[in-house]
Amino acid sequence: MSVQSVKRNKARDRQIIPGFGLSLGLSLSYLALLVLIPLSMIFIYTSSLGWGGFVREISQPIVVSALRLSFTTALIASLINLVFGVLTAWVLVRYTFPGRKLLDGLLDLPFALPTSVAGITLATLYATNGWVGRLLPFKVSYTEVGIIVALILIGMPFVVRIVEPVLQNLGKENEEASAILGASRFQTLVHVIFPKIRPAAFSGFALAFSRALGEYGSVVFIAGNMPFKTEIAPLVIMQKLEAFDYDGATSIALVLLVASFLILFLINFSQWLAKRKFADQ
């Protein structure tokens, strides 16, 4: 092989856009300044309290009640979003109907809508004298149900937008083959369609849960913020910060941070195991 050929091959192997080292350094610096350093400070500050101080802060009755409410409502809302988010993505991808593009565009509204605006809107609609609240046989505003409604609103787009591309790339050939082989629609759904969209659906569930766990703006207006009833953990953090109780605020924040990290890690780890099992087959 001639020297010219070697030079041409080396030039071809190079990146089209140079500057990998510089761009990587800038990206890591940006990530460290905005994400890693602020989050690590929570661990560093909380570690200074010691294990006994940390347990003392998070075992206060008001904190335990708020954490229980936040985890419970976030889980319920995320499970609802998991079911109806997949169903909504299926309808938008597989069916054509009037207003489909409008509905598809409205799903992104919770991403752009200020959370305070969403909270005021929900509180107005679901109040006992509101347009929707007056028609319901039960109370929504200032109850746990209202918190779940707000969390469903802000979490739905995560599931839909993650599952939607998977369904778009999922052709109908496998479904047609399943039907030809005698499988029922339910069997096709369980054994053909669901395994394909399961990783994306669980990723959307994890993101929706993490977002719901720390949601503040859209919840405080409809929750009523009654201690031991509708007071969520992020609100307790704000109250402790206003009282200059940084020990209590960072302790609660650490619990929420670790919980969000664990749910994301477990989902990603399960997806890695599924891909590895599929590759070995």
Domain membership of residue 37 (yes or no) is: no
Does 225 fall in a domain? yes
User: Looking at residues 124-146, what average pLDDT do you find?
Assistant: 88
Dump strand ranges (E) for 60-185: none
Cβ contacts of 138-144, under 8 Å, gap ≥ 24 = 140/222, 141/222, 141/224, 142/222, 142/223, 142/224, 142/226, 142/230, 143/224, 143/230, 144/69, 144/72, 144/73, 144/230
**Residue position matching structure tokens 């719901």:** 212
Instruction: At 12, list the tokens.
Output: 């071809």
Show contacts of 51-54: CB within 8 Å, 24+ apart: 53/247, 54/251, 54/254
d(CA 256, CA 240): 15
Would you state the pLDDT for residue 97? Answer: 86
Instruction: Answer whether residue 78 shows pLDDT above 50.
Output: yes
Per the prediction, the chain carries an average pLDDT of 84
Identify whether 17 is part of a domain: no
Tens of pLDDT, residues 242-269: 888 889 999 999 999 899 888 888 887 8
pLDDT in tens, 38-50: 788 888 888 888 8
61: confidence class by pLDDT, cuts 50, 70, 90: very high
**Is residue 75's pLDDT more than 90?**
yes
149-159 pLDDT, tens per residue?
999 999 999 99
Q: What is the pLDDT of residue 147?
A: 93
Give the whole-angstrom CA distance, residue 205 versus residue 264: 9
**157, exposed or middle or buried, with CB in 10 Å at 0-12, 13-18, 19+?**
buried
Banded pLDDT at 186 (limits 50, 70, 90): confident
- In the chain, the number of structural domains is 1
In-domain check, residue 136: yes
Residues 6+ apart with CB under 8 A from 258: none
The whole-number pLDDT of residue 65 equals 94
pLDDT (tens digit, 9 = 90+) per residue, 201-240? 988 999 899 899 988 888 988 888 888 889 999 999 999 9
pTM above 0.75, yes or no: yes
175, 104 in Cβ contact below 8 A?
no
pLDDT at residue 39, as a whole number: 80
Percent of the chain scored above 90 by pLDDT? Answer: 27
- pLDDT of the residue at 14: 54
Identify which has the larger pLDDT, 205 or 189.
Answer: 205
What is the residue range of 158's domain? 60-280
Q: What CATH code is carried by the domain that includes residue 254?
A: 1.10.3720.10
Q: Indicate the burial class of 271 (C-beta count within 10 angstroms; 0-12, 13-18, 19 or more).
A: middle
- In this predicted structure, what is the pLDDT of residue 64? 94
